[in-house]
Structure 1
Amino acid sequence: MINDTYNNELFCNYYAQWIEVYKRGAIRDATMAKYLMTQKWVEKLVPELKVSQLTRTVYQQLLNDYAKEHERQTTLDFHHQLKGAILDAVDEGMIDRDPTRKAIIKGKTPGTKKIKYLNQFELHTLLANLDIKEEVNWDWFILLVAKTGMRFSEALAITPADFDFSRQTLSISKTWDYKGKGGFLPTKNKSSIRKIQIDWQIVVKFSELTKNLPENEPIFAGNKKIYNSTVNDILTRHCRRCGISEISIHGLRHTHASLLLFAGVSIASVARRLGHASMTTTQKTYLHIIQELENKDVDLVMRTLSGL
C-alpha cells in the first residue's frame, strides 16, 4: 500500500508538502518566497510527473525547460531548491537513485547588466548633492548606507542606541520587516550581527541628529509602510541631477565594498564589514574587482623583482 502511494504521488504535490514540513518557519520570508516560486514552476512544467518517474533524464529535461526562460544562475538556484527535496525522496525509498547527480545547468545568455556601483568620484559627487537637513529624511539614510555598506533592512532598523559615538562604532544586530507588518526581525545570518567602525563625519552628523530621538526606536522606520522602491526613486533622482550612473540603494552597498577593495582593504575585512557568512560570498560577488586588483599585483610583483 505504501509503495502504491509512492508510485502514484505527483512530484509537484510532494514538493509542496516538503516545503511546508521542512522550510516553513525555518527560513526567512524572502527565501520562502523563492521556494514557493520554484513550486509554481514545477506545477507549470511537470504537473503530471510522479515522484517515482524522476530519472536523471527526466530531471535534466525539467532543468532544460526551465533554463529556456531563465539565466544560468537562476537555473542553478532552481536546481538547488529542488535537490534537497529530491534527495529526501531518495532517502525515503520513493526514488531508487539520485536523479540530480551530474545535472548540467544551462540558461539564457545574461542580458546587459546595469551598473551596480559608483566610482569614487561619482560617490563623492552624490554625497555632496544630498540635502542633509536638521530633521530625518531619506538623504540621511542614503548617507548612512553609503558610509557603512549596510543592507536596506539593516539600515532601517538602526536606532540611536546602536551608535557608540565615543568609540566610533555602530552595532548591527537586527533588521526591519519592511516587506511585512513592520517591527524588528533577526539579521540574515549570525555573521550579519556585527560592530563596524564609522568615520568622524558620521559621528558628528548622527550624534547631532539623534540626540533628541528615542533611544530604542528606529531612526528611519516610522509608522508608515516603507517601500524599497520609494528610496530607490529618491536616489535615482539624485544620480540624474549629478549626471552620474543610476544605481539602487543596494548598489550603494556594492559601491562601499568596491571602494574598500580598491583601496587595498583585505577581503576578510570587507566580508566582516558587510556581514557575509564567508569570504567566498565576497569573492563571488566582487570577482571582477578582485581580478583587476590581481592584475595590479602582478605589475607590482614584476616591478619589485626587476628592481632587485
Structure 2
Amino acid sequence: MVQDTKFYQYFYQWMRLYKLDAVRPVTYQKYQMSYKQLVTLAPELKMSELTRLNYQQLLNDYAETHERQTTMDFHRHLKGALLDALEEGLIDRDPTRKAIIKGTKHRQHKTKFLHQYELQALLNELTLDEGVNWDYFILLIAKTGLRFAEALGVTPDDFDFAHQILTVNKTWDYKSATGGFAPTKNNSSVRKVPLDWQTVIQFSQLTKHLPDDQPIFVQGKVYNDTVNHYLERLCQRAQVPVISVHGLRHTHASLLLYAGVSIASVARRLGHSNMTTTQQTYIHIIQELENQDNDKVMKHLASLI
C-alpha cells in the first residue's frame, strides 16, 4: 500500500514523474539534493506516519545545518510532493500546514560588490591586448551585469556594434559534462543590453576574426571556480576586496543605482523577472538612497518661504 511506502521513496517517484525533464537540469539537481537529505534525515518515516509534528521535526533537523533560505527551499520541494499526495487521497491531511521555517545564523559572506574606485582599480589590472582571455570575460560582466552562464553563452553574432547593443537570449550549460547552449533563466532574462562606446570598440576588435555563432569564451570544459580564483588574484593585485564573478554583476547593479538609474531600468538590464527581486537584492543600497532623497526633500522644503 502507498501508505506503507516510506516518504523518501514516494518523493523519489514524484520527483522523477513530475520534475525530470520538466525543469532545467540545474533545478532538478536541487530536487535530487532534497531527496538525498530526506533519505539521511528520515530513512524510516512512512507516508502513513506523517503528521505536522514529525514533519516539523524533519524541518528542524535539516535547519540545524542549513541557513533559513535553504531550509525554505527544502520545505518547498517536500510540500509540492505532499500536496499532490493529499490531492490524490494518498494521505488524509496536510502535514506541512503552518510549518515553521528555521535555520542556522546567516553566515558572513564575502564582499558582494565593489565601489566605483575599486572597480576601476580592478579594471586597470586587466590585460586586453592578447586576444580572448578571462580578462575580457571579467570586463564584459562588469560592463553589462550578465550572469556567469549568460556571459559564457555570448557569441560574436550577439553584438550589434552599430547600435551599441548586446542581445542576451541563451546561456552556456557549463555544469553538464557536454556543455552546449541552454535557455536563459526565465523569459525576462531574454533582453537587449545597451553598451558604452568603449566596450563596443574593445569587443568589435576582439571578435573580428572569431566564428560568428560560437561562444567567445568557451574552449573546453569551463568551471566557475577557475574564473573565481583568477578574479581573486586580480583583486589581490589591485588591492581591492576579493569578490566573485557574480559579485561583478552586483557591482554593476550597485553602481547604476548609486548613479540614479531607476530600479525598473536596473531590473530590465539584469534580466530580473520583476522589480521585487531587484529591490530585495539591493535593499541596503535603496534604503541608503532613500535617506539621501529625504535629506534633499527636507533641504528643499526648508528653502521655501
Question: Which of residues 219, 237, 240 is equivalent to 1:241?
Answer: 237
Q: Is the 8 A contact 1:276 1:282 kept in 2?
A: yes
Runs of 4+ in 1 over 2 A off after TM superposition: none
Gaps of 5+ in 1: none
- 1:198-257 per-residue CA deviation (whole Å, 9 max, x = no partner) reads 1001101111111111111111112x1111111111111110011100011111011111
Partner of 2:119: 123
Q: Could you tell me whether the CA contact under 8 Å between 1:60 and 1:104 is conserved in 2?
A: yes
2:56 and 2:99 in contact (8 A); partners too: yes
The reply to whether residue 45 of structure 1 matches residue 25 of structure 2 is: no
Aligned partner (choices 253, 261, 280) of residue 265 of structure 1? 261
Work out which of the residue numbers 153, 161, 164 in structure 1 matches 2:160.
164
The match for 1:24 is 20
- Partner Cα distance (1:172, 1:94) in 2: 44
1:204 equivalent in alignment to 2:201: yes
Distance 1:71 1:178 in 2: 26
Which SS does the other structure have where 2:166 is aligned? strand
Instruction: Give the Å deviation of 1:6.
Output: 2.5
Q: Which residue pairs with 1:277 in the alignment?
A: 273
Q: Could you tell me whether the CA contact under 8 Å between 1:134 and 1:209 is conserved in 2?
A: no
Question: 1:102 corresponds to which residue?
Answer: 98
Check the 8 A contact 2:193/2:269 in 1, yes or no. yes
Q: Which runs of 5+ in 2 are unaligned?
A: none
Q: Which amino acid aligns with 2:28?
A: M
Q: Does 1:87 align with 2:83?
A: yes
Residue number among 215, 218, 222 corresponding to 1:218 in the alignment: 215
- Contact 1:174-1:184 at 8 Å conserved across structures: yes
Give the alignment partner of residue 253 of structure 1, picking from 249, 253, 262.
249
Pairing partner for 1:185 from 182, 185, 193:
182
Counterpart of 1:111? 107
SS in structure 2 opposite 1:195? strand
Other-structure match for 1:35: 31
| Post-superposition offset of 1:134 | 4.1
TM-score, normalised with respect to structure 1: 0.96
- SS at 2:36 equivalent: helix
Partners of 2:3 and 2:91 within 8 A in 1? no
- Distance in 2 (CA, whole Å) between partners of 1:10 and 1:31 is 24
In structure 1, the partner of 2:192 is 195
Q: Deviations over 1:164-219 (max 9, x none)?
A: 01110000001111111121111111111111101001101111111111111111
For the 8 Å contact 2:154–2:168, the answer to whether it is kept is yes
Give the secondary-structure state (helix, strand or coil) at the position aligned to 1:166: helix
Distance 2:201 2:268 in 1: 24
**Other-structure match for 2:297:** 301
Q: Is the 8 A contact 1:176 1:185 kept in 2?
A: yes
CA–CA distance in structure 1, aligned partners of residues 276 and 48 of structure 2:
37
Residues 90 and 96 in structure 1, CA contact (< 8 A), matched pair in contact too: yes
1:236 and 1:7 map into 2 onto residues whose CA distance is: 52
**What is the total number of aligned residue pairs between the two structures?**
303
Whichever residue aligns with residue 94 of structure 1, its letter is L
